[in-house]
A and B are shown apart, each in its own frame.
Chain A
Amino acid sequence: MIQQLVNGLALGGLYVTFAIGMALIYSVLRVLHIAHGAMILVGAYCSLLLLPFFGDNLVITIIIGMLVAGFVGTLVGMGVYVRLLKSKSSTKYDTILLASVAILIASQEALMILFGVRHKQYPTPINSLTINIFGISLFVIQIACALVSFVSMFVLWVFLTKTDEGRALRALDQDPQLASLSGVNPLKTYIITLFTGSMLGGLSGGLLSLYYNDVHPEIAFVPVNIALAVIIVGGLGSIPGTIIAGLILGILETTALAYIPLTFPRTLVSFIVLIVILLLRPRGIMGRP
C-alpha cells in the first residue's frame, strides 16, 4: 500500500512538474499549450544524447535539457502564439490550438527522422536501483523524481510570490489591462513565463525518460493528455489546484493499474476523473468562477 502511494507520488510529481508549465503558460497567454509535449522530448533527448559529452553526468545533461527546452519553448511561444494572439479574429484561440498540436506532431516526426524510431535506453539504467527504508524497498528513481518535483514546485512558489518578475506574471494573469497600466511589460513577462514553464517541461522530460528508462518520440503523448486533464481538474490557471490534481491523478492511476485486473490505457483513469469533475464542478477543484 505504501509502495503504491510512493509510486503515485513520484508519478504525480512528474505530472505536476509538467502540467504546471502548461498551467503557467495558460494563465498568462490563455493558450492551451499542447506543444508543451515537445519540451518533454527536448528534455529527454538532451539528457540522453549529451551524456557521453559530459562524462555520464546526468545532473548536468538534465539541466542542459531544461535550458534548451526553455529556449525552444520561448521561441515557439513568441514566434507562433504571441504572433497569432495579435489577430482580432474571434476564432484565434482555435487556430492557436491547432498550431500547437501541429508543432507537437512536427517535433515528434522530426525527432523520429533524426534519431530513428528505436526505443533508446540509458547506458546505466538507474530505474531498477532500490533502497530499503523501514523495511519497504523503494526505487531510488521514484524518490529522486518526487524530491526534484517538490523542490521545483517550491522554487516556483518562491519565484511567483517573492520576486518582481513573478508578481508581474501573476498580475498579468489576474488583469492584463491593469497590469500593463501599472508598468508590467507584457512581452517581457511572456518571455519569462514561457521560459520558466518550458524549463519545467524539459525537467519533467528528463526525469520521465529516466523513470521509464525509455527515450522515444512518442513518450510525450500520454503526459500531454494527462496534463490536459490535470490542469482542467485543478481549475485552469490555478497553481495549487494543478498540484493537488496532479498528485491525486498520479496516485489514482498507479492504484488503478495495480488493483484492477484489466489492461487499459493509463490515460483512461485521468479522463474518467476529468469528466466526473467537469459534471460536478465545471470550473475544476480550485478554478475561478
Chain B
Amino acid sequence: MIPVNYITSILTFFSIFCIFAFGQNIMLGYAGLPMLGYMGLVAVGAYTTAILSTAYNLPFIVTLPLSCLMTMLIAFAVGWLFMRGKLAGAYLVVGSIGFNFIVVAILLFAPWFGRMFGIGPIPAPEILGYRFSSSVDFSILGLFFVAIVAYIDRQLSRSALGLGLKALREDGIAAESSGVNTVRLKVLAFILGSFQAGIGGCLYAYYIKSVFPTYFEFVHSVEVFTMVILGGMGTTLGPIVGALVPTLVPEALRGNVPMEARFLIYSIIIIIVVLFEPTGILGVNSRVRRLLSRLARLKL
C-alpha cells in the first residue's frame, strides 16, 4: 500500500514545477525566447514570500500577489535590458544563465537574504481561516493553481497576443515588417511568463518552509527548460506532460536501479526523446499528437 503522503508530496512538487513550466512555456514556447535562468525569477517570488511572511507576518492573500508583482517587476527590468540590446538566440541563453548566477550570488552574499542559511521557517498559509499545513492540502492548492495557469495559457494561445508571440517565434523579421512591435512584445512575454514564477515561487516557499539559494541554482533552471521542450513547446498540454517526466521518472526508478544510475538514465531518456521527437512528446507536429488527432477523428 502506497502511503497517501507520498503521493500528495509528489503531486505537490509536480504542480509547482508544472506552474514553472507554464511560465517558461510563454517565454520559450510562444515567444521563442530561450530563457535558461527561470529559477532566477522563481527565486525573486520565493524570497519575497519568505521575507514578507516571516519578517512582516503577512498572510497568504497578501504575499501571493506581492510576490507575483515583484517577480514581474524584476522580469520587466531584465527583459527590458536584454531586449534593448536585441539579445537573441545564444546571446540570450548565456545572458539568462548569467542572470541566474547573479541572482544566486546576491542571495548568497547580500546581508538581507540570510546568506547560505536561507530564510525560514515560513508559517503555513491560511485562507479564510483554513490552514494549509499537510501535503494533502498543498497538493490541492497546487493543482488549483495549475488549473488557473493552464486556463490562462489556453486563453493566451487563442488570443491575438498569443498569435503575435508565435509570429515572433516563427519569423521575427516578418513579424516586425507587418507592424508588430517586437521589442515591446518580447518584454511583454518576459513579464507574462514571470507571473507563473511568482505564483510557483510563493507556493514553493510555503511548501518547503525555508528557502535557500541552492534551490534556485542554474541546474534547476535546466530542469524547467527540459520540461517545456520534452512536453512540447507552445502547447497547453506540453508543460503538464513535461512536468510529469522529472517527477515520475525518478520515482519509477527508485528501488529498481541503483541511486547513481538515475541521472544517467534520465538524461539518456531526454536524448532519446529529443532525437525521435524534436518538437517534444506533444509538440505541434509530433507522432503522439498526430496519433491522438487521428483517434479523435475516428470518434471512438
The residues of A with any CB-CB pair to B shorter than 8 Å are 26, 32, 80, 83-84, 87, 89-95, 97-99, 101-103, 105-106, 109-110, 112-113, 225, 228-229, 231-232, 236, 262, 264-265, 267-268, 271-272, 274-275, 278-279, 282-283
One of B94, B271, B274 near A229 (C-beta < 8 A): B94
Over the window 155-177 of chain B, the binary record of Cβ atoms lying under 8 Å from chain A Cβ atoms (1 yes, 0 no) is: 00000000000000111000000
Contact A105 B263 (CB under 8 A): yes
Contact B229 A275 (CB under 8 A): no
What would 21 A/B residue contacts be, using CB atoms closer than 8 Å? A26-B90, A84-B274, A91-B29, A91-B32, A95-B229, A95-B279, A99-B271, A102-B268, A102-B274, A103-B267, A106-B271, A109-B263, A225-B97, A225-B218, A229-B94, A232-B91, A271-B102, A278-B82, A279-B81, A279-B85, A282-B91
Most buried by A among B86, B94, B171: B94
Q: In the complex, which residue of chain B has the Cβ closest to the Cβ of A26?
A: B90
Q: Which residues of B contact A228 (CB under 8 A)?
A: 94, 97
A106 → chain B closest CB, angstroms: 4
Q: Which residues of B contact A26 (CB under 8 A)?
A: 90
Contact B279 A91 (CB under 8 A): yes
Contact A101 B275 (CB under 8 A): no
The CA of A106 and the CA of B101, in the complex, are separated in Å by: 23
In the A-B complex, the 6 residue pairs with the smallest Cβ-Cβ separation, listed nearest first, are A282-B85, A109-B264, A106-B267, A102-B270, A271-B98, A102-B267
Over the window 226-265 of chain B, the binary record of Cβ atoms lying under 8 Å from chain A Cβ atoms (1 yes, 0 no) is: 1001100110000000000000000000000000110110
The residues of B with any CB-CB pair to A shorter than 8 Å are 28-29, 32, 34, 36, 81-82, 85-87, 89-91, 93-95, 97-99, 101-102, 105, 108-109, 169-171, 218, 222, 225-226, 229-230, 233-234, 260-261, 263-264, 267-268, 270-271, 274-275, 278-279, 283-285
Contact B109 A84 (CB under 8 A): no
Contact A278 B89 (CB under 8 A): no
The CA of A98 and the CA of B224, in the complex, are separated in Å by: 11
A103 → chain B closest CB, angstroms: 6
18 further interface pairs, Cβ-Cβ under 8 Å (given A94-B233, A99-B270) = A26-B90, A32-B90, A32-B93, A89-B284, A90-B171, A91-B28, A94-B32, A98-B225, A98-B230, A102-B226, A105-B263, A105-B267, A109-B261, A113-B264, A225-B101, A232-B90, A271-B102, A271-B105
The CA of A267 and the CA of B285, in the complex, are separated in Å by: 39
The CA of A92 and the CA of B283, in the complex, are separated in Å by: 12
Q: In the complex, which residue of chain A has the Cβ closest to the Cβ of B100?
A: A271
A98-B274, A236-B91 known; A278 vs B34 contact (CB < 8 Å): no
The CA of A92 and the CA of B279, in the complex, are separated in Å by: 8
Contact A90 B278 (CB under 8 A): no
A89-B279, A106-B264 known; A278 vs B109 contact (CB < 8 Å): no
Contact A274 B95 (CB under 8 A): yes
A26-B90, A232-B90, A264-B105 known; A91 vs B98 contact (CB < 8 Å): no
One of B95, B226, B274 near A278 (C-beta < 8 A): B95
The CA of A101 and the CA of B32, in the complex, are separated in Å by: 19
Q: Which residues of A contact B264 (CB under 8 A)?
A: 106, 109-110, 113
Contact B105 A268 (CB under 8 A): yes
Q: Which residues of A contact B90 (CB under 8 A)?
A: 26, 32, 232, 236
Q: Which residues of B contact A101 (CB under 8 A)?
A: 222
B162 → chain A closest CB, angstroms: 15
The CA of A232 and the CA of B90, in the complex, are separated in Å by: 8
Q: Which residues of A contact B233 (CB under 8 A)?
A: 91, 94
